[in-house]
Amino acid sequence: MITKPRIALESRLRHCKNVITLGVRTNLSDYEDWQLELIRESDVIYYPTAFYADIFDTIGKRTFPNYHTYKYVMDKIKQTALFDLLKIPHPRTRVFYGNHQKSKILNRFQFPFVAKIPRGSALGRGIYLIRNEDELFEYNSLSRAAYIQEYFKIDRDLRVVLIRGRIIHAYWRIARPGEFRTNVAQGGTISFDNIPEEGLAFAQNTARLCQLDDVGLDICFFDDRYWVLEANMKYGKEGFRQAGIDFFKLIDEMIENGEI
């Protein structure tokens, strides 16, 4: 039995032995003829990028991650609207467009609050704790849209990685002293102790409702309930490394088993 080659566009699976990574070309004409033929003939294309995910969805070609995942995990504004519509607990958040709306921020929020770059930020970059008007002014100069979120005074959150609804990995991210961000890239530490089953179930239900099939959900426990802070597709792999999990071997096995 001859099996079709598995192909990916993004470099995320470049170390998987069963996947050919073609790279990302904005112009299809920049692919070689054999590469274009692989794209046309493949049953599924892995990590097609946000640019191609909707194009492949239009022509009925399956991708992993799916179209829904690309639509939401790259856009915090859409995430918030989705969480609110589905009644998924999420810190009170509001988007302010342009200078006129931004001038109303302090009518809605009191210091301190969290401000984020709403699209494309990752690894804790583009997230700010706003404590005064000077910091707010500086943040507002960064983007036309201000994404303002209620601040929860916590020292940790729970990162839960789910692929096709299956919990692959979970760990606490604990902020370093003096830092409100828990991201490992910002000095946060990882702990595998006392991972709560209720938090895992909450993350699994959130991924299912939102149709996110490759996602790292950031969950926190505050005021006697679980909340989803945000969803990430480009989640880091340090937690996998510390847990002794070979991410690329895991993905290879899931591909071989037809799970993705």
Work out the number of other CB atoms within 10 angstroms of the CB of residue 183.
20
Work out the number of other CB atoms within 10 angstroms of the CB of residue 232.
21
Using alpha carbons, list the distances in angstroms from residue 35 to 24, 32, 52, 56, 107. Answer: 11, 5, 15, 15, 54
pLDDT attached to residue 57: 95
Cα–Cα distance, 128 to 107 (Å, whole number): 19
The answer to whether 49 and 9 are in contact (CB under 8 A) is yes
Kindly state the tokens that stand for 88: 């998924």
The answer to whether 190 and 216 are in contact (CB under 8 A) is no
Per-position pLDDT tens, the chain of length 260: 446 889 999 999 999 998 999 999 999 999 999 999 999 999 999 999 999 999 999 999 999 999 989 999 889 999 999 999 999 999 999 999 999 999 999 999 999 999 999 986 655 578 999 999 999 999 999 999 999 999 999 999 999 999 999 999 999 999 999 999 998 888 899 999 999 999 999 999 999 999 999 999 999 999 999 999 999 998 989 999 999 999 999 999 999 999 99
pLDDT attached to residue 73: 86
Using alpha carbons, list the distances in angstroms from residue 174 to 103, 187, 242. Answer: 34, 9, 14
pLDDT attached to residue 1: 41
pLDDT attached to residue 125: 73
The answer to whether 96 and 148 are in contact (CB under 8 A) is yes
Domain residue spans of the chain = 6-64, 92-149, 154-256
217: left (phi over 0), alpha (psi -120 to 50) or beta: beta
The answer to whether 100 and 87 are in contact (CB under 8 A) is no
pLDDT attached to residue 120: 66
Residue-by-residue DSSP string for the chain: -PPPPEEESSGGGTT-TTEEE----SSGGGS-HHHHHHHHH-SEEE--HHHHHHHHHHTT-EEES-HHHHHHHTBHHHHHHHHHHTT-----EEEEEHHHHHTTHHHH--SSEEEE--BS--TTTTEEEE-SHHHHHHHHTT-SEEEEEPPP--SEEEEEEEETTEEEEEEEEEPPTT-----GGGT-EEE-TT--HHHHHHHHHHHHHHT-SEEEEEEEEETTEEEEEEEESS--SHHHHHHT--HHHHHHHHHHTT--
**Domain 92-149 shares a fold with domain 154-256:** no
Domain 92-149: give its CATH code: 3.30.1490.20
CATH class of domain segment(s) 154-256: alpha beta
pLDDT attached to residue 2: 47
